Amino acid sequence: MASHIIGLSPADRKILTSLKQGSLHPSEIARRTGISRTTAAYRLQKLSRLGLTTKKVAGRKSIWDRSFIRTGKGDGVQIYTGEEFRHAYEHLFSLPGKSVIFCAQGDRSAICDTEVLGEHFIKQAHKIFKRKQLIMRGIGNQKVLRFFDSLNPDYVKSHIGRTTGVKVFSGNILLGTGEIMFTRKFLIFSNPAKQFALVITDKEIVNLAFDTISILFDSIGEMKTFDINDYLTKMTK
């Protein structure tokens, strides 16, 4: 059920519940739910971006309906938005030791991750990665390296020591704020700039995606592997 998607606020759930009875104007939604008209309008727009509501315009009035999509925790799909966004990344902490994580990053995703998740959260994540010896494999645009130029040395050092292998590319590819992580347990599709993350746990989809990215990563060739640990170590000297 849409109302059980992880990441929805209490106000979102009230709105979706009110729309079960049929189409409503935002003012009527506000009256039935007890939330303000302004909040109702804002949350309806957010729910629309998630594909959970649709708007119809009748003259000068806007009427809202639920979009009956089938998704949720029980379906092997979880959506995290807003304040719940960081919980998507907490899935990584449950991985067994020495698990492999393949990551495809847009050139601005690391900057957005820091802005949204915060340095403390990311530094703690790095400690867990190192303790569990999680193996990071990644592809990205060389422009992402500019992210480290403006960071304080202590934060840069927290990135050093992870078991990692990165392949970097130039040109107009792998740009933007998107980020995808592939593991044997789940997939994470994320846009930190919009505080939106989709986590897929369906076993068949996860295994197929992980095998596919493994083949593609290996086929790129060793000559393109970039030693990020060495690069960052030199930066902090």
Other beta carbons within 10 angstroms of residue 208's beta carbon come to 11
Domain map (residue ranges) of the chain: 2-66, 76-235
**Domain 76-235 part of CATH 3.30.300.30:** no
Note the pTM of the prediction, 2 decimals.
0.68
Neighbours of 60 (CB within 10 A): 5
Measure the CA–CA gap between 194 and 154, rounded to whole angstroms: 27
What digits encode the pLDDT tens for the residues 188-221? 999 999 888 999 999 999 999 999 999 988 888 6
> How would you classify the pairing of strands 187-191 and 77-81?
unpaired
> Do the first three CATH levels of 2-66 and 76-235 match, i.e. the same topology?
no
- Beta carbons of 177 and 109 less than 8 angstroms apart: yes
Fold classified for 2-66:
Arc Repressor Mutant, subunit A (1.10.10)
CA nearest 109: which of 82, 138, 83, 131?
138
Residues 31 and 46: their CA atoms lie apart, in Å, by 19
Residue carrying structure tokens 């790129």: 220
Alpha-carbon distances, residue 11 vs 46, 148, 223 (angstroms)? 11, 38, 52
**Per-residue pLDDT tens over the stretch 108-133:** 998 899 888 888 888 888 889 999 99
Question: Of all residues in the chain, what percent carry a pLDDT higher than 90?
Answer: 37
The pLDDT tens digits for 12-62 are: 889 988 887 778 899 999 999 999 999 999 999 888 877 778 888 877 788
